[in-house]
Structure 1
Amino acid sequence: MSKKEPSRNFVLRIDADMMDAIEKWAADEFRSTNGQLQWIISEALRKSGRLKKIRIKKNEE
């Protein structure tokens, strides 16, 4: 099992219409609302070149 960096919690204010749209999108993609928000943010960071590529290591037995 690989070690995961600890996540950080914070409060995010989103207007009701935007939250409704995010919740519907998350349901359409079979994700939680939190998972959808993380995906939206990471995609935006990746596309802007502000997030380093994350390497996934396979465990070799």
Structure 2
Amino acid sequence: MSEEQEDRPPRRRAGAERKSVLLRLDPAVHEALQRWAADELRSVNAQVELLLRDGLRRAGRAPRDAGPLPRRGRPPKGQRGDRS
């Protein structure tokens, strides 16, 4: 492995664990975000991630190795851990 390759951060794998972040918001901001998320049939968490990714992209700071947004809705039966 070359020195250049060693200095690079590892690429994110498709199934890599997602990070948890504690976020403190003004209650009015949270309520507005909750309404917006509900209007678009998303969770507040998914709405925040969408907004952050959009902000990063607009600022020219979107990471190249970020995985795609998780699909909305229930995962297919085989991926939920169902035993059926």
Category of TM-score, reference length = shorter chain: 0.7 to 0.9
Q: Which runs of 5+ in 2 are unaligned?
A: 1-12, 69-84
In the superposition, the TM-score normalised over structure 1's length comes to 0.76
| Residue 4 of structure 1: how far off its partner (Å) | 2.6
| Gapped regions of structure 1 (runs ≥ 5) | 57-61
Is the alpha carbon distance of 1:30 and 1:12 closer, same or farther for their aligned partners in structure 2, counting shifts above 3 Å?
Answer: same
Percent identity, aligned pairs only? 31
Of 39, 43, 46 in structure 2, the residue corresponding to residue 32 of structure 1 is 43
TM-score normalised by length of structure 2: 0.57
Kindly indicate whether structure 1 or structure 2 has the higher relative contact order, using CA contacts under 8 Å at least 6 residues apart: 2
RMSD across aligned positions (CA) = 2.0
Larger Rg: 2
Q: How many residues align?
A: 55
Give every structure 1 segment of 4 or more consecutive aligned residues whose post-TM-superposition deviation is greater than 3 Å.
Answer: 52-56
